[in-house]
């Protein structure tokens, strides 16, 4: 049954410090649920069965807004919306895979409200931005009144929808190091249709080459193929330090089976997901370097 709004309590802190104090005071009592764009939380409330009754509305917290351009990295405030990501010139230039993911999160109405930190904290294995954060070695900044800590994104989830965040911690920002020189980034979401679907498989990759050393850097992030978004380390290993070739591609496809463990569910089945996960990897690699298709590179 739909949750009656009259039963809910909402506080709107004036600043980040006050927000963190509210969370800290309630450490041993009923929790204040952080509320950002509300695109997940309001759906849960509408469906009923969500047990949170107290909400900390963060929408007005200026400290959590904006994209800061640094020398070696960009830092996105927790409340950065997918529309802001799509439209930011630096994001378009340096993080095209994240821009592609942002463009596939729902429609404009959702992208205007949905935040990056909300996508992260909601922790759906199908969250579209999450494989990109893996591919880019994102670092999550989590803050409480006890201070700030930095969590590498690939260590954020303990299990299905289970984050290492403490009850009184907020995600305040996400840092993305700039990709290595001459790297190629990729994003691909496979759903039931081209737009506004939940992923059956979602993938992002980042790869860099050196003429002699072959693959010098590779990150492969997958969603919807395990209880958490994950890094495909075996497949990465099959590619690292190898010259791009059809054989190394085939080894990576095979190694991928040791990284992912998709399930049958209402959106897809295990076999389909295994095949598609390997196919999108192949699509990425062939597009990134002609050597994976068995052709000679004219320029590396």
Residues engaged in binding ligand FAD (CB under 6 A): 33-41, 43, 78, 104-106, 110, 113-115, 117-119, 121-122, 127-128, 170-171
Residue 139 or 208: the one with the smaller Cβ distance to ligand FAD is 139
Write 160-164 long-range contacts (CB < 8 A, 24+).
160/123, 160/125, 160/227, 160/228, 161/122, 161/123, 161/124, 162/123, 163/121, 163/123
Q: How far is the CB of 165 from ligand FAD (least distance, A)?
A: 6
Return the DSSP state at 297.
P
Which residue lies nearer to ligand FAD by CB, 40 or 259? 40
Which single residue brings its beta carbon nearest to ligand FAD? 118
> In 3-state terms, what secondary structure has residue 9?
strand
Which phi-psi region, left, alpha or beta, contains residue 38 (left: φ > 0; alpha: ψ -120 to 50)? left
171 vs 225, beta carbon nearer ligand FAD: 171
State in angstroms the smallest separation of the CB of 172 from ligand FAD: 7
If the CB atoms of residues 179 and 191 are measured against ligand FAD, the closer one turns out to be 191
**Residue 40 Cβ, how far from ligand FAD at the closest point, in Å?**
3
Nearer to ligand FAD by C-beta: 33 or 215? 33
Rounded (5°) CA angle 240-242-246:
110
Nearer to ligand FAD by Cβ, of 76 and 121: the residue is: 121
Q: In the complex, what is the shortest distance from the CB of residue 20 to ligand FAD, in angstroms, rounded to a whole number?
A: 11
Minimal distance, residue 160 CB to ligand FAD, in Å: 14
CB of 78 to ligand FAD, least distance (A): 4
Distance in angstroms (rounded) separating the CA atoms of residues 175 and 161 = 22
State the Cα–Cα distance between residues 241 and 244, nearest whole angstrom.
9
């Amino acid at each position: 049954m739909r949750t009656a709004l009259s039963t809910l309590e909402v506080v709107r802190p004036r600043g980040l410090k006050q927000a963190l104090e509210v969370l800290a005071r309630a450490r041993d009592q009923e929790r204040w649920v952080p509320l950002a764009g509300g695109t997940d939380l309001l759906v849960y409330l509408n469906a009923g069965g969500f047990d949170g009754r107290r909400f900390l509305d963060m929408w007005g917290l200026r400290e959590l807004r904006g994209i800061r351009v640094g020398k070696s990295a960009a830092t996105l405030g927790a409340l950065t919306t997918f529309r802001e990501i799509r439209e930011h010139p630096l994001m378009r230039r340096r993080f095209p895979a994240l821009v592609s993911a942002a463009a596939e999160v729902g429609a404009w109405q959702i992208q205007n409200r949905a935040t990056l930190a909300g996508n992260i904290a909601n922790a759906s294995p199908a969250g579209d931005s999450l494989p990109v954060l893996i591919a880019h070695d994102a670092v999550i900044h989590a803050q409480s009144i006890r201070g700030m800590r930095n969590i590498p994104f690939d260590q954020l989830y303990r299990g299905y929808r289970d984050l290492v965040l403490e009850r009184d911690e907020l995600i305040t920002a996400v840092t993305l190091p700039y990709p290595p020189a001459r790297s190629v980034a990729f994003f691909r979401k496979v759903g039931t249709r081209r737009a506004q679907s939940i992923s059956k498989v979602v993938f992002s990759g980042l790869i860099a080459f050196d003429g002699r050393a072959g693959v010098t850097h590779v990150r492969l992030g997958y969603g919807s193929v395990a209880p958490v978004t994950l890094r495909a380390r075996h497949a990465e290993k099959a590619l690292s330090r190898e010259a791009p070739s059809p054989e190394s591609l085939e080894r990576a496809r095979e190694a991928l089976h040791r990284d992912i463990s998709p399930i049958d569910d209402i959106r897809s089945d295990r076999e389909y997901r295994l095949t598609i996960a390997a196919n999108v990897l192949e699509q990425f690699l062939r597009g990134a370097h002609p050597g994976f298709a068995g052709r000679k590179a004219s320029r590396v």
